[in-house]
């Protein structure tokens, strides 16, 4: 019996299209029986944020970060051609026309495939994000846990 293949993805970017790429690759790898982990750090954590505001105690700076960061994957901007927020609406319209799954559906598919959706705890502390603000399926770990996974990974990507 062969050892299970592992795919690890660091999602650093908070851009909708880059997050989509990460989740498309992750879901594809899971479909090929890879054990998959997406390690969300810095702006990539926005893919795990809940859409609704969650009341948690924060400092003034943490509240400011919370206001300027997109709340949930559907509010993330594009890496290029954002056009003051019109770009994401256009790309989503084109995606719908071509029956491409939106990011939120890719995230839900990842959850169904038991992909490990890991939030970087150090970045959460830096940005003032609380566990209550992230999806219930989120796991929490630091860089040491990511490195342990990456050491065994056959595929390691940084997006």
2: confidence class by pLDDT, cuts 50, 70, 90: low
Closest CA to 72 of 53, 41, 48: 48
Query: Can you list the domains of the chain with their CATH numbers?
Result: 6-142 (3.40.1260.10)
List the structure tokens of 8: 């690890």
Highest mean pLDDT out of 1-10, 12-21, 55-64, 82-91? 12-21
């Amino acid at each position: 019996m062969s050892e299970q293949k592992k795919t690890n993805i660091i999602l650093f970017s908070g851009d909708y299209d880059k997050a989509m790429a990460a989740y498309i690759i992750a879901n594809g790898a899971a479909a090929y029986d890879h054990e998959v982990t997406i390690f969300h750090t810095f702006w990539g954590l926005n893919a795990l944020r809940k859409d609704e505001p969650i009341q948690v105690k924060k400092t003034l700076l943490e509240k400011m970060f919370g206001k300027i960061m997109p709340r949930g994957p559907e509010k993330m901007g594009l890496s290029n051609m954002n056009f003051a927020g019109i770009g994401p609406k256009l790309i989503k319209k084109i995606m719908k026309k071509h029956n491409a799954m939106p990011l939120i559906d890719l995230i839900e598919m990842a959850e169904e495939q038991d992909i490990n959706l890991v939030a970087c705890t150090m970045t959460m502390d830096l940005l003032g994000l609380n566990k209550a603000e992230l999806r219930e399926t989120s796991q929490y770990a630091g860089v040491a846990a990511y490195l342990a996974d990456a050491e065994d990974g056959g595929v390691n990507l940084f997006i």
